[in-house]
Amino acid sequence: MAGVGYPTPAIFIAIATQAFGEIAPAMPALKPHLLSLGIAALLLLPLGIWAIRNPAAASLKFINALARVPGDRLQTNIAYGPHPENQLDIYLPPQSQPTSAQANAPVIVFFYGGCWGACLKFYKSDYRFVAESLAKEGYVVVLPDYRYHPNVKFPAIMTDATAAVEWVNENIEQYGGDPAQLFLSGHSAGAQMAVLLTLNEDYLHSKIHNNIKGFIGLAGPYDFLPFDQAYQPILFGPEENYPISQPINYVDGNEPPLLLLYGNDDTIVFPRNIENLSAKVNQLGGEVEVHRYDRIDHSGIVGALSVPFRNRQPVYADILNFLNQHRH
């Protein structure tokens, strides 16, 4: 239902193509240095072997290396709760002044996935490329870490997600953000967390909930009963608690606008999640926008925000169009 893994071959090919295009004109001048280049290649061989053995981590390192963020536009490891994992990073837009007097930039809080911790373990720094792609367009972007399975179960995970958004509401003006223009977003399991905060008004105070201008979900599980992974009954149990894990149960037609994005090659999250949630929102008179993409899989949908793919896939443009429609 919810998994991880990046389209490593595609990312490596894109990066290699981009790099070759940049150095090809200089190839004749490099001939005197072929020996040095060969030695460098040998020294880098262990790195190549590591990349083959750890494709997801290698992909993230490559795409994050391309997402350059000046130090004055990044605030890291800010505590939002009592647990060691309760830390967040804030990415500021260009020329942003971290003073309350100029707090006018819309804010995006993005939650990463990874089967709520039951698959690969991710961290906020792994998604720098997502934050950079949105901050450069004038948004203050917040990436929280949170506790996950097996250390905690659901809904304790939502306790952390709620605390992160509450911290943003109370403090983001200090970093040039406008708490009255809040967007929640996430990929995979992170999309489930973000949309629950958007749909279930029991999590956030009404004032904060009213500040949510929209939700952006990338390959999110929204209607995934019955469970099909062994860890899920443990994570979401006991059985009487299963319904509170399903975002579709909280649609009432009055929710903030939803943007649901899905790759048709996704074999991790089934299409019914997007189809059923959007159908219920439409049935109850809510606002939902759905985009499905050919030749994009579960991880490719978020990988489309990276530098190599940002202008090759429509995902990034669709997100920016949605944000521009619903920001002040």
DSSP 8-state class, residue 313: S
Sort 267 into a burial class: Cβ within 10 Å, 0-12 / 13-18 / 19+.
exposed
Structure tokens given for 209: 């909930």
- Which position has the higher pLDDT, 68 or 264? 264
Q: Work out the mean pLDDT of the chain and round it to a whole number.
A: 86
| 5-50 pLDDT per residue, tens | 344 444 444 444 444 444 455 456 545 655 664 564 445 344 343 3
Structure tokens given for 72: 């004055």
Residue 108, SS3?
Answer: strand
Per-residue confidence (pLDDT) for residue 15, from 0 to 100: 46
Q: What is the mean pLDDT of residues 42-64?
A: 54
| 281-322 pLDDT per residue, tens | 999 999 999 999 999 999 999 999 999 999 888 999 999 999
- Pair type for strands 140-144 and 87-91: antiparallel
Per-residue confidence (pLDDT) for residue 27, from 0 to 100: 52
DSSP 8-state class, residue 169: H
H or E element: which one contains 135? helix 128-135
Write down the pTM of the prediction. 0.85
**For residue 186, what are the β-bridge partners?**
111, 217
State the pLDDT confidence band at 241, using cuts at 50, 70 and 90.
very high
| 113-125 pLDDT per residue, tens | 999 999 888 999 9
**For residue 108, what are the β-bridge partners?**
141, 183
- Say how far residue 67 (Cα) sits from the centre of its chain: 14
Q: How many Å apart are CA 12 and CA 20, to the nearest integer?
A: 12
Per-residue confidence (pLDDT) for residue 59, from 0 to 100: 75
Query: Domains (ranges, CATH) in the chain?
Result: 8-326 (3.40.50.1820)
Nearest Cα to Cα of residue 149 among 55, 237, 273, 240: 237
| 181-225 pLDDT per residue, tens | 999 999 999 999 999 999 999 999 999 999 999 999 999 999 999
